[in-house]
Structure 1
Amino acid sequence: MAYLDQLDGDTYEMAAPEAMEEEAAAEPAEAETEMAAAEENVAEEVTAEEPAVAEVDPAPEAEAAAEEPAAEEAAAEASGFVAMVASADVANGEKVYKKCKACHALEDGQNRVGPHLFNVVDRDIASVDGFKYSDGLAAIDGNWTADQLSAFLTKPKDFAPGTKMSFAGLRKEEDRAAVIAYIQSAAQ
């Protein structure tokens, strides 16, 4: 059914509201079909005329950018302790080391109840030849960084459940930094 409408004195014939709704609903579907056909044609033209150019996925860059702040925060925390070790009082570290020397030697290859600590910083965890490590410590991958050593020395049984080390740990961060600085200095 058509409707008549007057605008500025002229009479216009309009479609029924139901027909207008059907036409409006059909337009997006037609537009999508036309767009898909146009994309297909472009793809065919590119394939026929030029070699295809691989698209670069921007997602890895966005992910890397999102990970950078987290990595920077972790590095800042890590470098905070590393800086603490670098500025630690080595003489105080020697005093703290007295708690360690009953079980650990600083001379290369001289194992005691515990493995020697010569060049322990940056050495693989549980890697001293000839020393039998507990399963808990042997299962940990990585190197003894200053941060790893600090975590271990804080509470060895929490760091490596099942460790044979009976030492309760060093609660004070300053003591851990000082003893690590002393151990490093002894290897030089």
Structure 2
Amino acid sequence: MFDTMTLTKITGAFCGALLVFLLGKYAAETVYKASVPHGDHGEEVVQGYIIDTGAEEEVVEEGVPIEVILAAGEASKGERVFNKCRACHLLDAGENGVGPYLYGVVGREKGAAVDYAYTAALGDLEGAWSPENIYAFLENPGAYAPGTAMSYALKNSAERADVIAYLDSLDD
């Protein structure tokens, strides 16, 4: 059964498979090296492929008044964006979740949600939650009120405006 010809065929098949593997490896390295510079001397590495996640990048226009951004907010879109907030906030008046209820938050005094224990960072703030204040808070809660328990920020300005329009539409 194992004669010289069979052994030669097996060796040839092994060498052919090895050759195909090495050629594939060489082609992959060539493609990789063409797309990413290499070296150990602090050279900047460029991303080889861009993966589209479907998320839109925020385009920040310098000098656009916040009133214009807030006026462009759509309550119908804000309802969808608010799903990100539902993990911690409820919309029913007086029913708190991890965060305070948000029914009537636009125009409500800061730290005034019934039966909610605010952190000192938010409890000590004075004034009402105007759309501009909410916008700044949603952009960066830690910078607006250092020490706040809220860490989630909406990075997209259009989403912030949409959520504010939605929250403002809830309490007539």
TM-score relative to the length of structure 2: 0.59
Long gaps (5+) in structure 1: 1-76
Match of 1:101 in 2: 86
Match of 2:119 in 1: 134
Q: Does 1:180 align with 2:164?
A: yes
Match of 2:135 in 1: 150
Mapping 1:52-67, distance limit 5 Å: none
CA separation in 1, counterparts of 2:114 and 2:94? 8
Higher helix proportion (structure 1 or 2): 1
Please state how far the C-alpha of 1:171 moved relative to its aligned partner.
1.4
Q: Percent identity?
A: 37
Alpha-carbon contact 1:136-1:163 (below 8 Å) kept: yes
Match of 1:87 in 2: 72
Please state how far the C-alpha of 1:87 moved relative to its aligned partner.
3.4
Long gaps (5+) in structure 2: 1-62
Higher relative contact order (CA 8 A, sep 6+): 2
Q: Does 1:110 align with 2:95?
A: yes
> What amino acid does structure 2 have at the position aligned with 1:171?
K
Please state how far the C-alpha of 1:83 moved relative to its aligned partner.
4.2
Match of 2:22 in 1: none
Higher strand proportion (structure 1 or 2): 1
CA separation in 2, counterparts of 1:121 and 1:114? 16
Alpha-carbon contact 1:82-1:146 (below 8 Å) kept: no
- Report which of the two structures shows the higher radius of gyration computed on alpha carbons: 1
**SS at structure 2 position matched to 1:93:** helix
CA separation in 1, counterparts of 2:68 and 2:105? 18
Runs of 4+ more than 6 Å apart: none
> What amino acid does structure 1 have at the position aligned with 2:109?
D
Superposed CA RMSD:
1.8
Alpha-carbon contact 1:88-1:177 (below 8 Å) kept: yes
* Superimposed CA distance per residue, residues 66-87 of structure 1 (whole angstroms, 9 cap, x where no aligned partner): xxxxxxxxxxx99x43443333
Mapping 1:36-75, distance limit 5 Å: none
Please state how far the C-alpha of 1:94 moved relative to its aligned partner.
1.1
CA separation in 2, counterparts of 1:83 and 1:106? 26
TM-score relative to the length of structure 1: 0.54
**SS at structure 2 position matched to 1:130:** coil
CA separation in 2, counterparts of 1:107 and 1:86? 25
